[in-house]
Amino acid sequence: MSTELKNISTEEDIKVWAPEKRDLIRKTFAPDLTKEEFAMFVGLGKSLGANPFMREIWAIKYNNSKAQIFLGRDFYRRKAQEQPNYGGHQVDAVYSNDSFKMVNGSPEHEYNLADRGHILGAYCVVYVEDREPFFNFVDFTEYNSGKSTWKEKPATMIKKVAEAQSLRAAFQGIFQGTYDESEHWKEETQKDKPEIEGEDWELLKESVKLDHMSTGKAIQLYELTDKQKTELGEI
């Protein structure tokens, strides 16, 4: 089987980044980027075949700092699964009362759900044909902010860090220089959902019509009126 990395965007992937959709993309997923940073954001999205409307790629910029472009966990998974030499991967959180060890490159992990103790970290193993497994363990204390999602879903967040790092190591030719937002050290911010109208509303309806975004996803991302929700439901 060929081990050549597959990183070719399909025609449908590229259509998502059509010029007439970029104003909506910029306002929604990269509002604070400079012209040059947004051009880089678009270029990376097109080359990877990442769909911002499916929350596969977005950007954050804090004050005058450099823009940071993030990929979603589901995109890391999807892109890895497209590779002909991908053999699956395993990810889990490790707690203080668990029994955990590595044997010949594979984890042996046992635990009792009744009392697992406190979180120590998470691991991920990626299996790739004709190569040793890619194993990575991340320490919970290095990433835990104790706030927002890290406070509510600590195991989920630390597993995302381990998974992104392992998939990036296994497929560097695709993911080099990219990050999952869970690896970001700054405090997460929660923004109100934006309202949408005029040309942006028409572009959003077109995205739903072309199956670039589901109606449910649109409702999650935007503050829609009852009339707008009805219109999307009829498409």
What is this structure's pTM? Answer: 0.70
Rg for the chain, CA atoms, rounded: 20
Give the per-residue pLDDT at 2: 43
CA gap 117, 114 in Å, rounded: 9
Range list of β-strands (E), the chain: 57-60, 68-71, 86-95, 99-103, 106-110, 119-128, 134-139
The full set of domain ranges for the chain reads: 1-71, 75-172, 192-235
Give the per-residue pLDDT at 220: 64
Q: Which residues of the chain have pLDDT under 70?
A: 1-14, 184-193, 216, 220
Give the per-residue pLDDT at 146: 85
Give the per-residue pLDDT at 149: 84
Give the per-residue pLDDT at 61: 81
Per the CB < 8 A criterion, the answer to whether 73 and 160 are in contact is yes
SS3 83: coil
Q: Name residues whose C-beta falls within 8 Å of residue 199's C-beta, 6 or more positions apart in sequence.
A: 23
CA gap 208, 221 in Å, rounded: 13
Residue 22 tokens, joined: 């970029």
> Torsions phi, psi of 36, nearest 5?
-70, -40
Pseudo-torsion of CA 211, 215, 217, 221, nearest 10°? 120
* Strand-pair category, 57-60 with 106-110: unpaired
Give the per-residue pLDDT at 14: 60
CA gap 164, 124 in Å, rounded: 9
CA gap 127, 113 in Å, rounded: 27
3-state SS of the chain: helix, strand, coil percent to 5? Answer: 45, 20, 35
